[in-house]
Structure 1
Amino acid sequence: MGSSQIIPYLAGLADKGHHITILSTEKKDRFYEMETDLKTLLNNHSINWHYIFYTKRPPVISTWLDIRKLKQKCNKLMHKHQFEIVHTRSYIASIVGLYLKKKSSIKFIFDMRGFYADERVDGNLWPQKNPIFRFIYKKFKKTEKQLLKKCDHVVSLTYAGADIIHKWDNTTDKRISIIPCCTDFDHFNFKNIDHNKNYKKNFNIEDNSFVLTYLGSIGTWYLLDEMLLFFKKLLEYKSDSVFLFITKDDPSLIQNTARRLNIDQSKIIIKSSNRDELPKTLSITDIAIFFIKPSFSKKASSPTKLAELMGMGIPVICNNIGDLDAQLSTFPGALVIEDLSNESFQRAVEKTESLTLTPKNEIHNFAKTIYDLNIGIERYHIMYENLQ
C-alpha cells in the first residue's frame, strides 16, 4: 500500500468525516517491514485496514486466485459494515468492485490509474505474438468496457485519458473526474531545508558541481539509455556536471549502461532515500530529468515524481506523456522536449541555464495549483458526497 498515492488521500478523506475501510493486497517481504508503522498511521485517522497476501505464481492463475480471495474477504466485510461506496484502484481491484456492485447495488468508483491492459502490451509484458497473452488482453479490454459501463464514477489521471474514454463505446455520458498524481507540498517544500548546510558533502559531490537528478525506479517505462545520453550531452556543455540517481533499484543496471555509453563512472552517483529524507536529498539538485517510453497507454499516466520535484522548487526536463505538454509548455521552470533525438537533447541542454534562473518559490507555487494533495482530497470528497 503506497505511502504517497493511497494513504495521504484516505487520511484526508477520513479527517473530513468519511468512515473508511481499506482492503489491500500486500507482498509479504515488504509488509512485515512497514506493518507496525502503517497500522499506527491508519489508526491515527480511524481507518480500518484488512489485507490479503499477493500470490505471485503461477502467472495468470495467481491473479485469479487473488481476485477470488478478495471477493471472499469483501463478502465478510460487506456483511459487517454495509458500505455505501466501493472505491477501487486500478483494474484487478475494480473487478472485485464490479462484483460487489452487482451483488449489493453499492455505488462503485472505478479509479483507473491508467489503461492497464494497454500498458501491459505497450511495455511488452503481454507480447501479442503469444496467443495466451493475446487472449488475456482481449479479455481485459472486454472487462474494461464493463467497468466503464457499470461504474457510477470514473477517475482518470489525465484529461488526455478522459478524452479517449469519452470516445469509447458506452462511456460518452459517464461522469469522469480528473485527478492527477498529487503530493503533500508541506512535506516536499524547499522552504523546510536548511540551506546553510552543505548536503552535497553527504554524497561526495563538489560544491561547484552541477547536479542533474533522476528520482524513482528504473524499469519498464523509464528510458535509462536516453537519460544517460542526455547527460552525456550535458557534460559537453557543463563539464562539472554529475548525475544523481535516487533509486532503490540495483545500481549495476545504471553503472553498466553508463559504461556501455562511455560515460565516466565518477560522474554517476546512485543513492537510495526514504520518504522522510527525500526532500533533503533532492535539495542538492539543479535540474531533474525523466524520460518515459512514449506510447498510447501513457496518455493516461501522471508521474508522481513531477509534483515532488517541483514542490522542492526544482526545474524539470521531461518528454510529453499524459497532460504534461498542456500543463508545462508555457511555464519557464519546466521543459517538455519534442522528441528523444540528439537534436532535442542539444536544444534542451542549451536551455538549462535559463531553467535554473526560475525562482524556487515560483516553481513550487505553480505546481501546487495542479498537483496539491489537498485539491485531490477535495475532489474525492465531493465525489463521495455526490454518490451517497
Structure 2
Amino acid sequence: MLEDKMNHTEEIPNQNQVKRSVVTASLFKHLRAISCLGGIYRSANPGEKMTRWDILKLVYVICFEIVLLTNIVFYIFATYNYAMDLRPITRLLSFFFVFLICLYLSFVYSTCLSKSFQILYVHCCKYEERYGFSDGFKKWVKKLRAIVVVVSLSIALSTLVKYLLTGVYPNVMNDTFPSSTFIEPGRSVGLSITFLGYMFMEMHWNGNYIIVNILSMLLWQELNRVQTQFKELAKSYREDTESRFNTLVIHFDVITEVLEDISNYVQHSIFTTVFLTLPVTCAIIYSILSNQVTSEELMVYSAGCVWALVCVGFGLFIDALVNLKAHGTLQYVWGLDKERFSGKGLQKVNLFVSRLTGDSIGYNIHGLFTITMPTLLGIVGTLVTYIIVVVQFKPSGATCLCNCFRNVTGSDM
C-alpha cells in the first residue's frame, strides 16, 4: 500500500505541466509568502533553476533557524544555572520546548514536506480547472494579501510590546528572556537575539495557523457547495436524478482526495500544536499553582495560557467543521427519491451512505485520530480535569488566589 502511494506521488506532474489557474496561483503565492516569513523554505519547482529571490528566501530561512538554535542554547544554559541554584525550571523548559518544536517544524517543512506542498498545488490546479472554486472562497483569497500584511505588522508590534511589558517584571523577564542574566555586553546581544527569536517564532506559529485555517476554509466551502447541490437534488423531481447523483458523488470524491493531500501536509503542524500547547500549558499551570508567584507572574502567564488555548481551540473547531460538513451530506442522501434509481444506482447510493456512516472524513493526524467535535470536547475535558486535580492536590506553598480556589472547592466537597 505504501509503495503504491509513493509510486503514485512520483507520477504526479510538476507544476509547470499544470495550467496555472487564477485562484490557485494567487492562493499558493500567498501561502508561500506566509510560509517563508514563518521560516519554511519552498524549493524551486522540478527542472527550474533557483532565482535570486529563491536564494534570498533560503538565506532568510537559514538565519531564521540559526536564531532559533541560538535561543535554544540560551535556554539550556539558563536551565542549568537555575537547576544549580535550586530555582524552578518548569517555565524555562516550557519555552525551551516551544523553540525546539518551532525549529523542528521549520526544518521538516523546508526539506521533507516540500514535495507534499507541490503535490497539493498540482491537485488544487486540477480541481479548479474541473470544478472551479466557490464565490465565498474567492473572496477570502482576495483578502489574503491584507491578512499577510496585517499579521506581519501586528506580530512585530506585539513582540515589542511584550518585551517592554516583561521588562517591567524581572521574574517574568528572567523566564522568557534567559539572556537577561548575562553580563554586558553579552546581555544586550542576547536580548536582541531572543527578541528576534520570539518574533520569528510568532511568525512561524501564526503563519501555520493562517495556512491551516485557509485550507480548512477551502474544504468547507467546497463541501458546502456539494451539500447544497445534494439538498437541491433531494427536493427536486428530475428525471436524471441518478446521473446527477453520480456526478455529485464524483465531485465529493475529488474533494476528499484534496482533503487527504491537505491532511498529509498540515498534520505535522496540527499534531505539534496540540501536543505542544497542552503539555506546555499544563506545565505552566502547575508551576503557578505549586510555587510562590507574584501577582505579575500570575497575570502574565495566565493571560498567555488562556490566549494559547483559545487560539488552538478555535483552530481545532474550524478543522472539525470540515468533518461536520463532510458527513452532513448524509441527511440529504436519505431524502433522495429512490424510485428514480436503477438497481445499480441503488447500490451506488448504499455504498455512498456506507462511506458517510463509516470512518470519519476529515484531518487524519498520523493515523492516531481524526479531528472531530468529540475530539475537541475530549481535549477540553482533559484540560479541565487536569486543572481540577492540580488545584486539589497542589503543594502547600501557593499564592493567596490559589488558596481561595482550593478553599472554595474544598467547601463544595
TM surpasses 0.5: no
TM-score (structure 1 length as normaliser)? 0.24
Greater helix content:
2
Greater strand content:
1
Q: Which of structures 1 and 2 has the bigger CA Rg? A: 2
Q: Which has the higher contact order (CA 8 A, sep 6+)?
A: 2
TM-score (structure 2 length as normaliser)? 0.23
